[in-house]
Amino acid sequence: MFKNKKLLVLLSMVLVFALFAVGCSQPADDTATPGTDDTNEPADEVTVKEELIVGQGADAVTLDPHSTNDQPSSRVSKQIYETLVAQNENMEIEPSLAESWESIDDTTVEFKLKQGVKFHNGEELKASDVKFTILRALDSSHIGHIVGQIDGEKIEVIDDYTIRLSTKEPFAPLLAHLAHTAMAIMNEKAVTEGGEDYGQNPVGTGPFKFNNWVIGDSIELVKFDEYHGEPAKLKKVTFRNIAENTTRTIELETGGIDIAYDIPPTDVSRVEENSDLVLQRAPSFSTSYIGFNAQKKPYDDVRVRQAINYAIDMASIIEAVYQGVGAPAKGPLGPNVFAGHQGLEEYGFNVEKAKELMADAGYADGFDTTIWTNENQQRMDIAEIVQNQLKAININTEVKVMEWGAYLEGTAAGEHDMFILGWVTVTGDPDYGLYALFHSSQFGTGGNRTFWSNDRVDELLDAARVETDPSKREEYYLEAQEIIRDEAPWVFTWIGENLAGVQKNVKGFTQHPAGHHSLHGVYFE
């Protein structure tokens, strides 16, 4: 009897809970559907589509450019904000919010701002906004390093449309750094009023303004009518978060989205062969590498690092994992980055040589180690093949797949042995692609997660940073790359490629090598 009573109580509780859950899910569904339905349905009535849906692999973290430095966020921010100067697809510096600029001396540049530029909140762009933005950026732990060379105390507002920026010492790639999406100019009033929620209510000067964000699902932008340049052709842009690669391709195939970013290698031929779709391939600034924690035994021994370089058959790995997408990396920089050394001597696949080096280093019997990677399918695949190939030189490897946040934290703290990571040389300048990764001042969060340093490389990177003569800079960078190759803190792995799947009727879409593609000129046919 008692038992049954208990059962009855339990059952009624389950029932109440079920009703409650059903009741709760209703309103949530209601708010979610209009966002997506609106973009699909009315489009059929208009002759030319004006609403674009883009699918990418992750949701933005925040739309406050100073609170993050990740690709999914900057891909959205790029449409909302603009920078003082911009870099086009060929990485040439172009005027954007600054009409013109001139060097006053070695360390100072004067910018003339375009007049009549309106923020999405109706405010006009003034030099004070630029100053406010840069000072705020300097305080950011996420992107501070991008503007770190600018001297915050010496920012001089001449008048409403003129501003002077000074660097602490001559800094050759200043303009390229100012073109970084993280250097988006923000409105002082909007940021102050927005407070902690600013990242969910961004205000920029770009061709699209922020409209709605269903966290984890989609971000909706609408055309900004008072845009200072040529108005956008699209009325609305929706970024959808479709994490699973295969699902993103299927959504593209079935017409659920118009553009899919980052088509996985396995789906390349599928998109190519589909007559309704176009696969857009474009060079990218991203590279992947396998790094060693050079402060930890046994990786403090250059012979061990070289032995592993010899023991890995990288050409076949890249072929198997990326299936013709991108290319095997020949050095730390890709061929499209200035001074990217493509003629470095390759280690090649040579197990005998690797065994010799291991024996020389006193590890003929090998050792146990771990290789870290994040949940990136291709990187996990590489790790698994490397694990297998290293058995030939008696290295017993454990693959550790980690969540992105924990991965970055752990590698910054130096807890790792080997790791697979990537880097995007956003500015297209070798300073961005080498300084953070190989300079001894950048250990840990700065970007040098191998904790490897070399006095000569430090010297060269410092010298090239302040040098203004391009041919001298090239010389310094080439020498630094030679040393990096010989000292082997990395196994050079892969040069990325931008792959976007696009519906046939989408026109005017081009990919930016840094990965944050502008949708300003996109239209439907």
Partner 1 sequence: MSNVKTASQNPQSQVASNGTKKKRGPWREVWRRMKKNKAAMVGLLIILILILSAIFADVIAPYGYDEQSLVDRLQTPNSKHLLGTDNFGRDIFSRIIYGSRISLQVGFIAVGIAAILGGTLGAIAGYYGGKLDNVIMRCIDILLAIPGILLAIAIVATLGPGLRNVMIAVGIGSIPSYARIVRASVLSLRDQEFIEAARAVGANDFRIITKHIIPNSMAPIIVQATLGVANAILSAAGLSFLGLGIQPPTPEWGAMLSNARHYLRDYPHIATFPGLAIMITIFGLNLLGDGLRDALDPRLKS
Kindly give the residue spans of alpha helices, DSSP state H, lying in 488-517: none
Whether the Cβ atoms of residue 496 and residue 286 lie closer than 8 Å to each other? yes
CB of 327 to partner 1, least distance (A): 17
State the residues that interact with partner 1 by CB under 8 A: 245-246, 264, 266, 270, 316-317, 319-320, 375, 377, 380-381, 383-385, 387-388, 398-401
CB of 398 to partner 1, least distance (A): 7
CB of 20 to partner 1, least distance (A): 15
The dihedral built from the CA positions of residue 312, 317, 319 and 322, taken in this order, carries a sign that is negative
Kindly give the residue spans of alpha helices, DSSP state H, lying in 113-262: 127-138, 144-147, 174-178, 188-194, 245-253
* CB nearer partner 1, residue 143 or residue 383: 383
SS3 label, residue 411: helix
> What token pair was written down for 12?
């009624």
Residues across the chain: 525
Give the count of alpha carbons within 13 A of 438, CB side only.
Answer: 30
CB of 377 to partner 1, least distance (A): 6
Rounded Cα distance, 338 and 93, in Å? 14
Residues of the chain by 3-state class (helix, strand, coil), percent to 5: 40, 25, 35
CB of 189 to partner 1, least distance (A): 43
* CB nearer partner 1, residue 245 or residue 425: 245
* CB nearer partner 1, residue 115 or residue 246: 246
CB of 384 to partner 1, least distance (A): 5
* 442: Cβ contacts below 8 Å, ≥ 6 apart: 435, 436, 448
Angle at 309 between CA 307 and CA 313, to 5 degrees: 120
Rounded Cα distance, 205 and 65, in Å? 13
Comparing C-alpha atoms, which of 381, 284, 274, 385 is closest to residue 326?
284
* CB nearer partner 1, residue 267 or residue 497: 267
* CB nearer partner 1, residue 200 or residue 370: 370
> What token pair was written down for 464?
């090239």
CB of 313 to partner 1, least distance (A): 8
* CB nearer partner 1, residue 302 or residue 399: 399
> What token pair was written down for 74?
């900057």
Rounded Cα distance, 483 and 88, in Å? 32
* CB nearer partner 1, residue 255 or residue 335: 255
* CB nearer partner 1, residue 366 or residue 489: 366
CB of 318 to partner 1, least distance (A): 10
Comparing C-alpha atoms, which of 271, 98, 284 is closest to residue 179?
98
* CB nearer partner 1, residue 164 or residue 400: 400
